[in-house]
Every structure is written in C-alpha cells, then in structure tokens.
Chains A and B, each alone.
Chain A
Amino acid sequence: MAYDMYQERILQHYRTPKNFGKLDHPDFSGEESNPLCGDRIRFELKLDPSKSTVAEVRFSGEGCAISMASASMLTQKLAGQPLAAVEKISRDDVLQLVAIPLSPVRVKCALTGFTALGRAIHGAPASADPAQA
C-alpha cells in the first residue's frame, strides 16, 4: 500500500505545493494541528469585492507528504469558487480528490488541511496576527 500512497502525483504536490504561503489580509484563516505527528496546517482565504467568491487561497505549515499534498490539491479546488460551494465540500470530496488508499491513521493526515479550511470558513474570522502561524 505504501507505494500506492506515494504516487508521483502526490509527491509532486509535496515537493512543490500549490498556493503555499500566506496572504496579507485574509478574510478567513484557520489552523489545524495533529498532535500525534506534529503536523500543522493553516488555511487563509481572501474573498473578491462582492465577498461571495474566493479570490485567493494559501496554505502554510508543515506535515507529511499526505497532509501537504492533500492541502495543496484542496487549494486548487477553491480559487474562484463561490463561498457557498466551498462550504459544501465534504470529507469524502477531499478523500476522492486525494484518491489513494489510506489506513485509518493516515486518513487523518489527508484531512488535516480540510479541517483547517473548515476552521477558517466556519470558525472565527482571520486572526489579527498571522505571524502566529
């Protein structure tokens, strides 16, 4: 199973993650850490002037190949999406996006970014101190 997990598609995202970094004044931000493995991922989103569509998204932090690749793939899905559609993304959507066989422990890794995204859009608005991340 290990080698199915570490497909080139996954490793590409791990080595050169998409939308990796931070935004200056995000409208939303949220963070999730997995204390078991020390992973920590932060999602930041900026809306367009209508405040209904995602204009920009970035993620930051550190984690294993699965959590980083999953977060990277997820960011690609978000830009340009109506906020309402982003709110509807489910964990199954994310697991389908990642599309690799995962043991229960590693499913958590694949969902770390998704949980951070959930915190961002459902939780409190962006914290005043992004340097904290």
Chain B
Amino acid sequence: MDVERIRRDFPIFNRKFHGHPLAYLDSAASSQKPTVVIEAEREFYEQRNANVHRGVYGLSEEATDAYEKARERVARFLHARDPQEIVFVRGTTEALNVVASGLGQTRLREGGRVVTTVMEHHSNIVPWHMLRERAGIDLRFIDIDDDGRLRLDGYDDALDGSAKVVTLSHVSNVLGTVNPVREVADRAHDSGALVVVDAAQSAPHRPLDVEALGADFVAFSGHKTLAPMGIGVLWGRAELLRELPPYMGGGEMIRSVHTDRVDYADPPARFEAGTPNVAGACALSVALDYLERVGWDDMAAHEHQLLERAFRLAAERFDGTIRIYGPPLSEPHDAVLSFSVQGVHPHDVATILDREGLAIRSGHHCAQPLMNRLNVPALNRASVYLYNTAEEIDRLFGALEKVNKVFAA
C-alpha cells in the first residue's frame, strides 16, 4: 500500500496548522475525504440533480437510478441479501433512533429488557434511555474488564432468558476493542432477543457481513468511511424492517394518504421520509469503491503497524507516564489509541498537540458511562486510518514529550 500516493488523493493534507502540516489523528470522529468522493458529490449536483422517485422526466430518472445503484453498492458492502434491506439515513445516530423508536412501539411497547454494554457511544445509549422513560424498558449494561474486553461471564444474567433486544458496538470508539458480536448474537438469539449492531467504528475498516455477524440490525455512518457527512445506513432483516413502524412522516414514505387514514410504504421507503441525501448516497458508493480498491487487508495491516509503533513508543519513551486504555494489540484492537498523560488533563494535551499541527480528540468521547467505568474524567484519543503515516506517529510522540516538558515541575 502506497500511503504517499493515497495522501495525494486527500486535498485537506495540503493544509497547515501553526506552520506544521496537518497530522490528522481523529478519523474515528470523522474521516477525511478523497477527491473522488468530493467529485462524486459535485458530479451529482452538476449532472444529475433532481428529486428521486418523483419526476417522470429523464433527469429525475437518472437521479433515482444513481440513488438506487448506491443502495445496491451498500448492500454488496454489507453482504445483505436484498438492497431493499438498506435504509439511507443521516448517520448511525439516526439509524439507531429509527430502530429504538420503532421497537418501542412494537416489541418493547409494554417495556421489557434491553441489554447493552458499558462501552457504548451515547448514540447507542440515549435512544434506549428515551425508551426507558417512555415505555419503562429495563436497560442493563454488560461490564468490561480492566483491559476493555466485554465481560461475558455476566451476560447470561443480563439476558435472564427474557431480554428482547441486545444492542452493542462492533468496535469501541474509545478502547478499539473488537467485540465478539457473533457470540453475543448467538446467545441473544437463543434467548429470543433481537441483535442491534453499531458498526460506526468497524465499517471504515472492513467489509461487513451482516449474516456472519448474526445481526438483525446494523448501523453505520458515511462520514467515518470517507463519505460526506449526513449520509448513513441502517440495514435490517427484511421481515424485521417490515414490522417496524415509521420514524418520521412525510412524502416518499407512504403508499397512499387520505383525509381519514394513511397507508405506509414498504421498507426502505417507509423510513426515508422527505427528500433524501442522494448526492451523499452516490458519494458513499464511490467511497466504498475507493476503499475496496485500496484493499481492506492492506489497509488493516497498515493501521495495525501504526498502532504497534504507537504502543512501542509509548512504552519505551515515557517511563510509565503514558497509560494506554483498551486491549493489547495481540488481541483484536482497531485503529484507536486512547491514553492519558500523567498529571496533564487531556484538553491541555490536545491544545499543545494542536500547536504542533496534530489533531487528536480529547474529552469523554460521547461515552460517559465508559469514562466512569474507567474512573477517568476524560481521555486523549489518537485514531489512525489508511492515510496516516509512521512519521505522524513519531510526531505525536515527539509532541507528547513536549507536553511532559511544559508540565514538568
């Protein structure tokens, strides 16, 4: 994999901050975009812009065709049986809200148990809390061990033979832990529960196989997978999508509307009220093509090498003042490195790193229950993607030495 060539595909790497070339180590928050994706968005508006599924004129047909081809492309990425199982939404957050809200009117209407994990992003906690408030569901959290692995020894107790939904992240946005989704799903199904998978952090790094995962619903965001902001995907098993009530009402999601009643369209249209982000869907399709051309395995190997370098530098050069959170690299661990610097608040770390042209995330990472579990107010997180380089990792640790120097007593 030729990283220098890949970097030339991303115009943003021409930018400098405080006189340093941008070292972007926050792709877990949002990835940068290659020219082909930016051009795809532009091409739609320059050549194909019209509303979809409405006009009978040629331009609208082209727009509709492009949108539905994007749906097919995403179905291939997810190894879904049928493109009609792909719902375009704004992002993972909306996808999870569609599922939680829908189940809240069906299987969870009278309450019932929902099992999640303490490592979830708020987008996979808050919609369920809203159901707790609205429908009185009983929300249970699976704990983690001190290295950030799910503690499945407590899982059967949490399921209790009566759980209706199990919802978990495929990969933790803070710890990098790759969760054993298949095992969790099999045990959930044995106990009669549906399985919802937040794939926001895994989709950028590997093609997903919804069947192999054993999931019933899968959500991911375009903007973390090189695509624009405002486009994302909910996949659901056809029969489950059919039983789900709509999330928003409006045009496009109906079969017929009368003054005394409304008949809803079948999925996916039922969940796509209003004018969708067609340009975003086309650009997502192009982003997935781009990632496939780079090669998923090469990309994963590259990212793993960068993490290995980071772990090694942290251990060798910092005399125990840098603490890394999450499982060791000998175990499944994706693309993120969360750490604390002894005696220095993460925001101070990130401010000094910014001065060196390094963009990392600092804060609670939308995972406050996890911060509480780890007993930290906040953490630093560097995340890597296909375009990051070994030199950027070296710059990161060089800058962390400056942090220690600034704060040394």
Contact = CB atoms under 8 A, between A and B. Distances in A.
Interface stretch (A32-40, A50-58, A89-97, A113-121): A32-40
B354 interface: yes
B230 interface: no
B246 interface: no
A39 B1 CA distance: 42
B356 to A, nearest CB: 8
A38 B378 contact: yes
Interface stretch (B62-70, B136-144, B306-314, B342-350): B342-350
Contacts of B3: none
Given A15-B409, A64-B348, A66-B348, A37 B355 contact: no
A5 B351 contact: yes
A38 B370 CA distance: 12
A110 B106 CA distance: 48
A15 B407 CA distance: 9
Contacts of A109: 347
B57 to A, nearest CB: 48
Contacts of B363: 36-38
A38 B406 CA distance: 22
A121 B351 CA distance: 32
Interface string A88-107: 00000000000000000010
A61 to B, nearest CB: 10
A65 B378 contact: no
Contact of B377 (A3, A15, A39): A39
- Counting chain B CB atoms within 10 Å of each CB, which of A3, A11, A62, A64 scores highest? A64
B355 A2 contact: yes
Interface string B4-31: 0000000000000010000000000000
Contacts of A5: 351
Given A37-B362, A37-B363, A37-B378, A63 B345 contact: yes
B355 A1 contact: yes
Contacts of B377: 37-40, 62
A66 B351 CA distance: 11
A106 B362 CA distance: 13
Contacts of B376: 38
B345 A6 contact: no
> For chain A, which range describes its interface: under 10, 10 to 19, 20 to 34, or 35 or more residues?
20 to 34
Interface string A1-24: 111011000010011000000000
B362 A6 contact: no
Contact of B364 (A6, A35, A40, A66): A35
A14 B347 CA distance: 14
B87 to A, nearest CB: 31
B20 to A, nearest CB: 12
A66 B346 CA distance: 12
B352 interface: yes
A3 B345 contact: no
Nearest to B379: A38
Contacts of B378: 37-38
A37 B346 CA distance: 8
Nearest to B349: A64
Interface string A59-87: 00011111000000000000000000000
Contacts of B409: 15
A21 B355 CA distance: 33
Interface in B349-396: 351-352, 354-355, 362-364, 368, 371, 376-378
Contacts of A1: 18, 355
A66 B349 CA distance: 12
Contact of A11 (B18, B364, B371, B407): B407
A6 B347 contact: no
Contacts of A64: 345-348
22 contacts: A1-B18, A2-B351, A2-B352, A2-B354, A2-B355, A3-B352, A3-B406, A5-B351, A14-B407, A15-B409, A36-B364, A37-B346, A37-B347, A37-B362, A37-B363, A38-B363, A40-B377, A62-B345, A64-B346, A64-B348, A65-B344, A65-B345
Interface of A: 1-3, 5-6, 11, 14-15, 35-40, 62-66, 106, 109
Nearest 3 pairs of A and B residues by beta carbon? A38-B377, A2-B355, A64-B345
Given A1-B18, A37-B345, 13 more contacts: A2-B352, A2-B354, A2-B355, A15-B409, A35-B364, A35-B368, A36-B363, A37-B347, A37-B362, A38-B371, A62-B377, A64-B345, A109-B347
